[in-house]
Structure 1
């Protein structure tokens, strides 16, 4: 038996074996993750900064959208024909109905008098009756339908055995403005009657069924005739009972004839609708102001961007200055001198937003509609508030020099740079992680090889 002492060769080999084993088995590849945690923290910081930039950009997108809405509403108030809102009322709506069209841009308040003497009508012919619709033959041959307005006659050819339905189908399939329908009167042994009529009203749409050309027994129910009326004591005729070429921007509908009755159409400035337009302007202005104010308040856990704060202060001053200068100026040429405050629109000294006194606005419109209009709409006396503030909005939106547009462009550039830096850092981090993993893997392999060699040496020494 060999005794292995502390200083013996076998003791030294055993110590070496244990050291190699510890090294080979003690390499923790998780150390790579710990090393990379610091690198990841740097990338996360970049991503956090990017997220803040995106939030700020979204805030500016909201501002841009609100500016667009404000610009649109200012356009609706910028000219007299856009600012003015009218309403029309008929003294006898059961006789003549009236409605304003979108083209009613240059109306003036006033009254028109009309009289409906006779309504426009369509030509109508009725065949006296049949027992059924599709079973019994009604005859054959042809029928001639004469048409007015210089249109050619319609010749309807019917085959032997044709039923009432066949006759109606043939007429409806013809190319003319003539229609046929079968009416079930529910009366007597022959309840089914054929109604033939012109598809349009007016004298030019007249039709006539030649009695010598048909085996059917038609009776004339109504003649084609024009609408006959008086407009301001002038005789007027129309082919249709509804028309929009008598008063510009107004559609009239004659509903029943009432000779001798004068119908008044009153066109007045619509105070309620106009006030609604002013309220919409104030709402859109305040929406812009709120969106800008939001950019001036740092979010929780975030710092306020100096660039954003500066841009917003400048933009808000631009809007406030335009409203103050245009709204505070006395309107020249208006019947009764007026400023914006006289129309019930004022600026809140604390918030900077506009406020509307509804009663004061409507009272001003009722007593001095033109004066209020000249505050907002441009005229021969000069540009109104809508045009001046509209120019200020355009200056903020300008792609080359606008404060809002430039800040958005700056944010877009910063986000792009941030994206590139994050991508670069991630690539570097991945490369470093791969190098570390390879280094530790190689080290582990070498340790295992040394352990194998040491085990072989130990075996030889023990032999």
Structure 2
């Protein structure tokens, strides 16, 4: 008989609710163990969640500091006394010391592209002719919109095939742009018609000629020629170098963006102004550094508060977690870590020396007067703490925090290892819970079968008792008659 069927008949012989009795016996046997396993599972869930929160907090802290440092807003920036003539910015990736920067600039001439345009055509879609267009880069002389001389450069001329699929101004412009010859093309349309406009890169050696080799069966491409004696095109702008005087020394450059004249500074030439001197200086980002210090302290305190709560010896889920405690210890030592090693004697080298102090509860606070003094007297040292790219021998705050984060989240000995251990323990408990449930089911089946057998025997005994009682009653009735 199936266990379910047995359970339905239990107690019919004995009159005892044996189904309830079996449930009570099974519960009594396994209740304590199930409660213990459930409590252990809940505790591990809390530990896993706490580890995850701390890993996320320290990783986010580290990432935010890296982004702040890489953004360049904390580094000393170059300045220009006349941004209408030249602007200055720090060269990306440069480690140059811009403190005390001083240079004079005169922009005598801007670099320019050669720009040529054809005489108007009726429209931009009509066929002009077929053949080959050849673009050659070099240097040229221009007078009154016409090229008077040209010297080809060392580069190989580029040939562009023009056939029936691209022999309109629109098609020719696309073909030139696709050729990568150092010249870009566009079509300019107005009330006079459509013109092909050609433009090179800036620099004296970026002048160009465009010469056509026409197919005899479809002539017309020579109307696009650019060069000496090409009367159908006009050169609106001649190719030329920028001419700049730096501290009185005149130099030429092919671009108006120049990054090789002042170490760590990229100059952008805006306009030519011969005889006008522009002073290039520098300015420490004092306000940004002050904000960065305060933001660092605020975020540090949030992370440390989470750590203190989770590692509390009485109530913390990670009170015995060595990785969490190691992280707490490493962070608490951060204000005393030497971050700058190559500044003059007396310069601050630690966060504590610029006014970041540790309170009795483990949080940090900022001594505003001490920070302002450090920013005023040692801006370079403070900047280096937040700008590892400027360091020669020190590591900087970002590198120090990154090292702490790497150790803290390690899957070998850090919080990553803790998470893996707790997850493994959780699986073991889940396995034990599954086994306990299986054992309870087995016990319930065994007891149900045992009580069913007992109940059957009791039913048989009761049947015999009833028969004997009836017989005795019958005998007694016969005797009395």
TM-score, normalised by the number of residues in structure 2: 0.70
Deviations 1:237-283 (A, max 9, x none): 22222243333443332222222222222223221232344334423
1:294 Cα deviation from its structure 2 partner: 0.7
Structure 2 stretches of 5 or more lacking a match? 1-9, 139-152, 214-220, 225-231, 475-481
Whether the 8 Å CA contact 2:133–2:210 is kept in 1: the answer is yes
Whether the 8 Å CA contact 1:147–1:153 is kept in 2: the answer is no
Residue 194 (structure 2) aligns with: 192
Whether the 8 Å CA contact 2:128–2:167 is kept in 1: the answer is yes
Q: How does 1:412-431 map to 2 (within 5 A)?
A: 414-431=425-442
- In structure 2, C-alpha distance between the alignment counterparts of 1:253 and 1:281, rounded to whole Å: 34
1:122 Cα deviation from its structure 2 partner: 1.8
In structure 2, relative to structure 1, the CA distance for the partners of 1:233 and 1:371 (3 Å cut) is: same
Q: What SS is found at the alignment partner of 1:244?
A: strand
Residue 344 (structure 1) aligns with: 355
Are positions 1:152 and 2:157 aligned together? Answer: yes
Q: What SS is found at the alignment partner of 1:88?
A: strand
Are positions 1:244 and 2:259 aligned together? Answer: yes
- In structure 2, C-alpha distance between the alignment counterparts of 1:377 and 1:254, rounded to whole Å: 28
Report the more deviating stretch, 163-172 or 407-416. Answer: 407-416
- In structure 2, C-alpha distance between the alignment counterparts of 1:318 and 1:231, rounded to whole Å: 49
Are positions 1:108 and 2:98 aligned together? Answer: yes
In structure 2, relative to structure 1, the CA distance for the partners of 1:66 and 1:157 (3 Å cut) is: closer
- In structure 1, C-alpha distance between the alignment counterparts of 2:412 and 2:420, rounded to whole Å: 10
Are positions 1:55 and 2:43 aligned together? Answer: no
Deviations 1:361-411 (A, max 9, x none): 234212232565688999999998888888877776777777x68866775
Are positions 1:219 and 2:234 aligned together? Answer: yes
- CA RMSD between the two structures: 4.7
Out of 81, 84, 92, the position equivalent to 1:91 is 81
- In structure 1, C-alpha distance between the alignment counterparts of 2:243 and 2:438, rounded to whole Å: 86
Structure 1 stretches of 5 or more lacking a match? 1-19
1:43 Cα deviation from its structure 2 partner: 0.9
Residue 6 (structure 1) aligns with: none
Whether the 8 Å CA contact 2:75–2:285 is kept in 1: the answer is yes
Whether the 8 Å CA contact 1:144–1:214 is kept in 2: the answer is no
In structure 2, relative to structure 1, the CA distance for the partners of 1:332 and 1:446 (3 Å cut) is: same
Q: What SS is found at the alignment partner of 1:265?
A: strand
Report the more deviating stretch, 83-92 or 445-454. Answer: 445-454
1:195 Cα deviation from its structure 2 partner: 0.9
Q: How does 1:299-448 map to 2 (within 5 A)?
A: 307-308=319-320, 316=328, 319-320=331-332, 322=333, 334-335=345-346, 343-349=354-360, 351-358=361-368, 360-370=370-380, 372=382, 411=422, 414-441=425-452
Deviations 1:156-206 (A, max 9, x none): 545599433343344334342222211122x3xx332221222x2223322
1:289 Cα deviation from its structure 2 partner: 1.8
1:73 Cα deviation from its structure 2 partner: 7.9
- In structure 1, C-alpha distance between the alignment counterparts of 2:279 and 2:27, rounded to whole Å: 85
Report the more deviating stretch, 416-425 or 175-184. Answer: 416-425
In structure 2, relative to structure 1, the CA distance for the partners of 1:442 and 1:318 (3 Å cut) is: same
Residue 25 (structure 2) aligns with: 35
Whether the 8 Å CA contact 2:313–2:319 is kept in 1: the answer is no
Deviations 1:303-333 (A, max 9, x none): 656953998778656654x357659xxx995
Whether the 8 Å CA contact 1:319–1:393 is kept in 2: the answer is no
TM-score, normalised by the number of residues in structure 1: 0.72
In structure 2, relative to structure 1, the CA distance for the partners of 1:445 and 1:90 (3 Å cut) is: farther
1:354 Cα deviation from its structure 2 partner: 0.5
Deviations 1:44-92 (A, max 9, x none): 33112221132134323433444455667888999xxx99721222222
In structure 2, relative to structure 1, the CA distance for the partners of 1:431 and 1:167 (3 Å cut) is: same
Q: What SS is found at the alignment partner of 1:214?
A: helix
- In structure 1, C-alpha distance between the alignment counterparts of 2:212 and 2:409, rounded to whole Å: 75
Residue 179 (structure 1) aligns with: 184
- In structure 2, C-alpha distance between the alignment counterparts of 1:162 and 1:452, rounded to whole Å: 115
- In structure 2, C-alpha distance between the alignment counterparts of 1:408 and 1:143, rounded to whole Å: 68
- In structure 1, C-alpha distance between the alignment counterparts of 2:293 and 2:387, rounded to whole Å: 11
